[in-house]
Amino acid sequence: MEDTFDPERMSRRIASVMTLLLFTVGLGVAIWFDRKYERWWKENHPLAGVRRKRERWKAGRQRQLGIASDITQGLAELTTELKRQRG
């Protein structure tokens, strides 16, 4: 191996390092933008109010279903207890 400076080899190394650096920076910017855009989308999008209203409705509906399930379970336990007492 020679100990001489090879400009072509050095330029390939620099190109490789620059490619890796630019890719990393680009990926970081893409992740940052995605997070900021997602936050903007949730807060400022024209349909954000409609989306929040739908989410509140779904939460209320889940609560109603939970209450109905509790009542049904209670009635089933009461029926089982009454049957056991009768018979």
Does 63 share its domain with 31?
no
Question: Domain range for residue 55?
Answer: 49-87
Do 36 and 62 belong to one domain? no
Residue 51's contacts (CB-CB under 8 Å, 6 or more residues apart) are 42, 45
Q: How many CB atoms neighbour CB 48 within 10 A? A: 13
Does residue 40 share a domain with residue 12? Answer: yes
Residue 41: partners with Cβ closer than 8 Å, 6 or more residues away: 48
pLDDT at 18: 94
pLDDT, average across residues 17-46: 89
**61 and 36 housed in the same domain:** no
17 pLDDT higher than 80: yes
pLDDT of 61 > 80? The answer is: yes
Query: Band of the pLDDT at 4, cuts 50, 70, 90?
Result: confident
- Average pLDDT of the chain is 88
15 vs 20: CA distance, rounded Å:
9
